[in-house]
Homo-oligomer: A and B are copies of this chain.
């Protein structure tokens, strides 16, 4: 994992549809060598997959909120329960007063409310504290 690998990751995070020849030119390698580098990054699990980036607003997910979930018992093993709610995009076990933090995307505030309702149905969940996003300043890939 040298500097060339890091450069390649940055470029591929911006646009993974670029030909290997162009990628190689950007980092000073041939297409073949570039291909081999990227193949190994995949093999090592540094690159997990190639995927399209979808605009949430364009598919009716214009409302974003973060929700702190309080619980009376351990819910760290209830990942599947949270995953069963499709509007939840991320779920993390956290340190601090709450026990789980989830990122929710819905179409409307009413739907957000409904998601909260469904979270209360999860065993051990005793409270929620929702923070609605007014404006997203930026969302970007992690820089290597």
Taking beta carbons and an 8 Å cutoff, which residues of A are in contact with B? 1, 6, 9, 12-17, 44-56, 58-59, 61, 64, 66, 76, 79, 82-83, 86, 89-96, 98, 100-101, 105, 131-144
27 inter-chain pairs at a CB distance below 8 angstroms, sorted by A residue, are A1-B59, A9-B54, A9-B59, A14-B51, A44-B58, A46-B54, A48-B54, A48-B55, A54-B141, A54-B142, A56-B142, A61-B142, A79-B138, A82-B137, A82-B138, A83-B137, A83-B140, A89-B140, A90-B140, A91-B137, A92-B134, A92-B136, A93-B134, A95-B132, A96-B132, A100-B137, A101-B133
Question: Are the C-beta atoms of B54 and A135 separated by less than 8 Å?
Answer: no
